[in-house]
Amino acid sequence: MSAEGRDRLLALGAPIALVALWEAAVRSGLLDARFFPPPSLVVGTFWRLAADGTLLQHTWASVVRVLVGFAIGSAAGLAAGLMLGTIRSLRVALEPVISALYVIPKVAILPLVMLIFGLGEASKIAIVAIATFFIAVINTTAAVVGVEPIFLEAGRAFGARRLQMFAHIILPGALPAIFTGLRLALGTALIVIIAAEFVAAKEGIGYFIWFAWNTLRPEAMFAGFIVIGALGMLSYAAIRWIGGRLMPWQEDVASPEGRSEHA
């Protein structure tokens, strides 16, 4: 067998083996079925909840909040980061403030956000936007500052003016690191929305999992985990795809081993 074929077999086979092991462990009583329902039951529950539209309804609610919040937060973060990156005095003045606010876990300010934005959709979107904003602004600033000086020199040597420098050198030069930031931000947005939905929602995949706990249905909780995992993978693939379209010059934009995180 070729090395590639063996790799593929390992990559596919290992998870299947793990699931089989899990099933066997539950059936033989090694794992407590009250906490770890057997995969067969989880899959059955998942299909039932998917078929009757329950999962779709909750997933959709979460996805909308994440997308709207992410769009607002990343757009604001991107704009602010581009300004901070290019205007030195602004950066010197605001970077300590932003760094200080960044380290506060966004879930900690959820009560305040709910106080301000109420119990409706606005507070959920706001908390996602805030979390996204900080990651986007910090990474975008670092990305702009990190543009190789030789490219700036080359731009100036060929007579690029301020706006030309920005459009032809700084923005494309910073784009790979900006995308790394957006990938991180989207991952964080998912974490934050699940946490927010645990405590302050009547729908959404976070609410769904919390409700499953309240009603002692671990198999439904696991169905929720599957959805979250799928959302994570899907968002990762989406960012990667968009990055590839925007940056055709990159061999692989979002490869986790390829670039540093700049955070």
Among the listed ranges 14-22, 27-35, 242-250, 254-262, the one in contact with other proteins (CB under 8 A) is 242-250
Asked whether the beta carbons of 169 and 157 are under 8 A apart, the reply is no
CB of 171 to other proteins, least distance (A): 9
**Residues binding other proteins: what is the number (CB under 8 A)?**
22
Hey, how many other C-beta atoms are within 10 angstroms of the C-beta on 70?
26
Select the residue interacting with other proteins from 47, 158, 225, 241 (CB under 8 A).
158
Note whether 157 binds other proteins by CB under 8 A. yes
Binding positions for other proteins, 186-215, rule CB under 8 A: none
CB of 175 to other proteins, least distance (A): 7
Q: Of all helices (H) and strands (E), which one includes residue 198?
A: helix 171-200
Note whether 103 binds other proteins by CB under 8 A. no
In sequence order, what are the residues at sequence separation of 6 or more whose Cβ sits closer than 8 angstroms to the Cβ of residue 39?
Answer: 19, 22, 23
Select the residue interacting with other proteins from 37, 173, 204, 218 (CB under 8 A).
173
Asked whether the beta carbons of 200 and 123 are under 8 A apart, the reply is yes
Nearer to other proteins, 158 or 241 (CB): 158
The CA distances from residue 120 to 116, 189, 197, 209, 212, in Å, are: 11, 18, 11, 19, 22
Q: Which residues bind other proteins (CB under 8 A)?
A: 150-151, 153-161, 164, 168-169, 172-173, 175, 247-251
